[in-house]
Structure 1
């Protein structure tokens, strides 16, 4: 017997007690506010770790993740018992409706809210309404809770480091979170769980009263919790080779279930001695067999195959321990699942067994009621292991049962962006949760860019009171803006709608000198007029005239600025005034008048569809400057602003406008604004240093179907693997990849036909 395991087994031994009440089913003696459970002489603590995109990782990435996961398992010493749990539980429908569905406001838009909410509930049904969470539970044997707390504090830092290497995260669970896991399992039909430790202590109530089942029954091969039927199984037969997808397939059942893997690490020196002892025993058996053959004059007898294999396996095991830095681990895998009826339970058991057989494994049922109870206590993330069922594995063998599959995005109050292409679960993104809210929507024509953007705009209008500003170069958004009570500003040569390019509100710019920032904007504007650009002398003249104009006039226009240029003595000033003439007194004077439209409407769309190619870039700059004014005004009021700019690549066609827009992008982020750039010409965008920097620094990027050259450049910029790239290669409309912070999630966005679909679609066949 291995000394460390013998000691641990002795410590883990419990006094047998027959449960007399339902509370006795829960073996926890004492709970602490920070989430520590005391069970006899044990102290346990649980951590929730985040999933990673293991299923769509490349072969090289999978190898790296596999080795990093092995390092995590190797980091645990022999004094701690480790339990890795995958918990499938039903979505709390009440909480889902509270967090995600849009409340009615009786403002004329409730018919759209109703359709949107119905669509979300239908998508939830398509996803099997199952949430998968993953936990790591550690059990240590300490003299008091302070020693245990110090140990968990130290190891928590190490766990965070190991999970960060995997691209995951490790979150410590507090007392209420741990108790809720047990409550949701024991009382799966109850959604409400409210635990107040001080109130319970004051009343003398036990925490077990809130989580224990009301009428449990344990039978020969199953158990019953209230109106649910359950069964505990264990992995009884392991093959020589096994695929790393076994855990994800076992946990793919659309039921309330838990999978747990208990691990105990053995010190290398003790493991080496144990294997050497076994190898010596095998060699002794072979020698005795040969001696018997020789005694029978059978000198040419070949060593039996099974004996030879035992010797080779022992040698290989010993080499793994001494040369390949592997650890010897004792493993136990258990699964518990719940169903609404006994027939359904039996069918689910057979389904799980068939999945195990697919991987050449055997799942066996724990017989007798006491064994079912012991198995239930073992599989739940409490920190116990009452089953004396172990299998010896090396680190690599244990790492095959890797619990990762695919990342999910389900932020509270988030916007629906579709369904996860791997798990089919709905994707809800809330940009407030990211380091910065900068966003891009990229895709070829017809890939679904405008449709997805309209969905986001409609959600913001229906759920929040935030302001929305849109730059619409293709007249794609006017219909929905008018439908939702917004202001559509038609900007074109000869239009009656005017935006004053010289407007400047309080707090303008980000340098602390509003006039200097406005001067920079005017330079960008005039540069659009001149094909050769402007030199340093002309910049000095412009800066001087802009400052003098704002000193003399409270609300100047471009006409005022041109008049100021004509007053200057330099011939360059006269040349600049001549360049501006067509934009102040000529046919392209749309930005030279005082603003005469409702720019204070909550929803404003700047429609520049008829602006013409000559004025389009200039129009984008003026509109962006107007947006800066609105963002600054809202920031002072404490109001959020959402900005959507289509044909985003146009503003980066020359250096000066690119510099201005790069500065504007930073101002948006600093002033509680949420900018989104939309473009189909990704290659042109990436050719600009400023634009590619903005893209790489944006935390939220939606990539729909991409052209070949765009895919290659995006892959290098955002570190997208070939497997992930397949989701933006020849993808259907509304399908692609979402970069959300540091993760990449493939998605499918299919909105059913209805009022919102009719508003958003741009397909000619739908329009007909």
Structure 2
């Protein structure tokens, strides 16, 4: 017989260990990962006054003091602040019976203290009197069931990329709270508990609470923010802070003026055309100065008037036209106001580039002779300072040329310089009686085909003509000046633009100024004044050099400056009054088809039209 070979127990144990080790190695190589591994930070460091999650720094602060009264929506500004923060509120109901007993004791104590002070002849204590009134009111409301009582805790955790930035954000939040007499403290040596209290796990580990009634707690409801949202107005876009709608009526502000800054292709014309289209739906007329033929499709779609200004067209605008002013006080000054406007125009026409560098393009003697020539030109057709004479047919540039040619002094020299506008290269368009009618809901003045030298002059004359019409008949209007930087290059046209911005509100006019040349516009004294006189501003994507300029003017945070240079098309910062939000401009498919200037989108539309 053969003897069976016995297995050594030591060998069995070694084989078992080898198998287990192999299984562990296979599991490790397989890389089994749980959900917790995916969402957990790479590291967590807890310090006494801050913590660090991965590469981010954080700090938790808690609210420990409140004023006597809080107003609805007091947390709205914090909810919409342009920083990364977590906010936690903990509300614990308290038995009304317990609160009533405590209030009864408190009222008795306060009354006793006040009576004791009165007996001893001490001066009254306003704080105790106010506390007694509040306690009595709260006890009455609790007794009838109109109020309930709660314990309330409010914690805020802020995040930043560095400790310096963390301190800056904390200072911003403390300033915001301090303005409302709400006081905060850093959760010293409790940063871990503070972090756990503000992450979404319903754990109040700080347990710092304050007694509040139903009415007081209701004011802290976090989603009452109505920033840039009204019942009336038009939809501008989506508030990217809280996904709310930005619905606003620009005519409810101090003035209805708006400035739009953006680099080429950022969506500024798209945004303004969208606003114009929607404003027409609520009864506003729209007037547009179009230097690049971008508004013709929109004008045709709404049945507007499209006026093409060029040396070869039959369109004529007479800068000597007078407004039919209804206001009797202004009727007396209508001629004088138009003379001032003509002075600026003629300095632009006769002075050329020197009007920008030297401030004026004419010498003092030429100014004096020009002024007399203008007055005499009106007088020759019977128009004087008397408002009754303002209905007469106005003179033209040819009449002024003739007046200057036959007067003494520098008149003949001025006439020679003016001749190119009366019988020379630029003759016709601004030297004859007006033949245009802007009595339409949308009127577009196209100046694309004008020579570069004539463009600023044309924009000035068109603006003057529109201003005369606005003063003649008061109604809700919007005036859009695209590529306004061309006017800001010359002092006289810049002054005229500022005058429009300053006086537009009186005539129910909203001036929209669009420019992509931010440095030139903001480098002008009048450009900055126009921005200051505009209650609404829209900043779309900017070039890096323009970000610093706008950041200083609009007091933007570092985060907003970073975003301003990297916004996608159609996103920007929208300012209205004292508020501003990050906005996404949105349009329907029909609106998109009417107003887009994207070459690719236009080609697709043309292909679809051919196929249909």
Change (3 A) 1:148 1:576: farther
**Cα distance in 2 for residues equivalent to 1:379 and 1:624:** 59
Aligned to 2:578: 742
- Correspondent of 1:620 among 426, 439, 459: 459
Question: Who is 1:767 aligned against?
Answer: 602
> C-alpha displacement at 1:545, in angstroms?
1.7
- Is structure 2 residue 529 aligned with structure 1 residue 693? yes
Alignment pair present for 1:575 and 2:399: no
Are 1:511 and 1:517, in contact at CA under 8 Å, matched by a contact in 2?
no
Distance 1:510 1:720, change over 3 A: farther
CA separation in 1, counterparts of 2:308 and 2:584? 34
SS of match in other structure, 2:575? strand
What is the TM-score normalised by the length of structure 2? 0.63
| Alignment equivalent of 1:358, drawn from 199, 211, 217 | 199
Shift of 1:604: 1.1
Cα distance change of structure 1 residues 355 and 701 upon mapping to structure 2, 3 Å threshold = farther
TM-superposed deviation, 1:654: 1.8
608-617 or 595-604, larger mean C-alpha shift: 595-604
Q: Distance in 2 between matches of 1:361 and 1:500?
A: 73
Q: Any idea what the Cα deviations from partners look like across 1:437-456, whole Å, max 9, x if unmatched? A: 21101100000001001111
Contact 1:44 1:140 in 2 (8 A): no
- Matched residue, 2:399: 560
Alpha-carbon contact 2:501-2:533 (below 8 Å) kept: no
Q: Does 1:757 align with 2:585?
A: no
Q: State the alpha-carbon separation in 2 of the partners of residues 702 and 514 from structure 1.
A: 34
Q: Work out whether residues 495 and 526 of structure 2, in 8 Å CA contact, stay in contact via their aligned partners in 1.
A: yes
Q: How many pairs were matched up?
A: 431
Equivalents in 2 of 1:645, 1:384: separation in Å? 48
Q: What's the counterpart of residue 382 of structure 1?
A: 215
Q: Secondary structure at the match of 1:426?
A: strand
- 1:442 aligned to which of 261, 267, 280: 261
Distance 1:524 1:148 in 2: 68
Question: Is 1:524 equivalent to 2:341 in the alignment?
Answer: no
Tell me, yes or no, if the aligned pair for 2:152 and 2:212 is still in contact at 8 Å. Answer: no
Give, in whole Å, the separation in 2 of the partners of 1:621 and 1:433.
Answer: 28
Say whether residues 1:705 and 2:547 are aligned partners. Answer: no
Q: 1:721 to 1:407 in 2, by over 3 A?
A: farther
Partner of 2:309: 491
2:227 counterpart of 1:408: yes
| Structure 2: stretches of 5+ with no match in the other structure | 1-67, 86-101, 104-128, 139-143, 160-182, 188-194, 206-210, 355-360, 382-391, 604-612
For the residues of structure 2 that align with 1:728 and 1:356, how far apart are their CA atoms?
34
The alignment partner of 2:448 has SS state of coil
Deviation by residue 1:347-402 (Cα, 9 ceiling, x = unmatched): xxxxxxx99672675279xxxxxxxxxxxxx99843599xxxxxxxxxxxxxxx99
Query: Which of 266, 271, 292 is the matching residue for 1:452?
Result: 271
Inter-CA distance 405–537: structure 2 relative to 1 (3 Å threshold): farther
Is residue 540 of structure 1 aligned with residue 375 of structure 2? no
Larger Rg computed on CA atoms: 2
Q: CA shift at 1:714, angstroms?
A: 0.8
Q: Against the structure 1 CA distance between its residues 534 and 766, is the aligned structure 2 distance closer, same or farther, given a 3 Å change threshold?
A: same
Q: Distance in 1 between matches of 2:185 and 2:574?
A: 37
Shift in Å, 1:548: 2.0
Counterpart contact for 2:236–2:586, Cα < 8 Å: no
Q: Does 1:549 align with 2:377?
A: yes
Q: Which residue of 2 aligns with 1:507?
A: 325
1:672 correspondence with 2:513: no
Q: How does 1:192-231 map to 2 (within 5 A)?
A: none
> The residue matched to 1:756 in structure 2 has which SS?
helix
Do the aligned residues in 2 keep the contact of 1:705 with 1:736 (CA within 8 Å)? yes
Structure 1: segments with no counterpart, 5+ residues: 1-42, 63-77, 80-138, 150-206, 212-231, 246-323, 329-353, 365-377, 386-400
State whether residues 498 and 529 of structure 2, in contact with CA within 8 Å, keep that contact through their aligned partners in structure 1: no
Alpha-carbon distance between aligned partners in 1 of 2:82 and 2:198, rounded to the nearest angstrom: 26
Match of 1:296 in 2: none
Could you say what secondary structure the match of 1:534 adopts?
A: coil
Structure 2 Cα separation of the partners of residues 383 and 661 of structure 1: 49
TM-superposition CA deviations, 1:708-763 (whole Å, max 9, x none): 121101111111111122331121111010111112211111324x2211111111
Cα 1:673–1:357 shift into 2, 3 Å: closer
Aligned to 2:110: none
Cα distance in 1 for residues equivalent to 2:499 and 2:217: 57
CA distance 1:696–1:577, change in 2 (3 Å)? same
Deviations 1:627-678 (A, max 9, x none): 111110122xxx1221000011111112222222222222223322100100
Seen in structure 2, the aligned counterparts of structure 1 residues 599 and 610 have a Cα distance that, compared at 3 Å, is same
Query: Aligned-pair distance for 1:513?
Result: 2.5
Give, in whole Å, the separation in 1 of the partners of 2:291 and 2:156.
56
**For residues 406 and 53 of structure 1, do their structure 2 counterparts lie closer, same or farther at Cα, with a shift above 3 Å needed?**
farther
Q: Secondary structure at the match of 1:52?
A: helix
SS at match of 1:576: helix
Q: Kindly tell me: are residues 510 and 576 of structure 1, through their superposed partners in 2, closer, same or farther at Cα, counting changes over 3 Å?
A: farther
CA separation of 1:621 and 1:607: change in aligned 2, threshold 3 A:
same
Contact 1:467–1:640 (Cα < 8 Å) also in 2: yes
Secondary structure in 1 matching 2:319: coil
Structure 1 residues 53, 540: closer, same or farther in 2, change over 3 A? farther
Moved more, 473-482 or 595-604: 595-604
CA–CA distance in 1 between the matches of 2:555 and 2:315? 45
Partner of 2:469: 630
Question: CA RMSD of the aligned region, Å?
Answer: 4.0
For residue 767 of structure 1, report the CA deviation from its aligned partner. 0.7
CA distance in 2, matches of 1:48, 1:592: 60
CA contact (8 A) 1:549 1:560 kept: yes
Answer whether contact 2:73 2:221 (CA < 8 A) is retained: no
1:140 and 1:148 in contact (8 A); partners too: no
Q: 1:487 to 1:144 in 2, by over 3 A?
A: same
3-state DSSP class of the match of 1:613? coil
Residues 107-506 of structure 1: pairs in structure 2 closer than 5 A:
243=157, 358=199, 361-362=202-203, 381-382=214-215, 408-461=227-280, 463-506=281-324
Instruction: Assess if the C-alpha contact under 8 Å between 1:414 and 1:429 holds in 2.
Output: yes
Match of 2:562 in 1: 726
| Conserved 8 A contact 1:649-1:679 | yes
1:63-78 aligned within 5 A: none
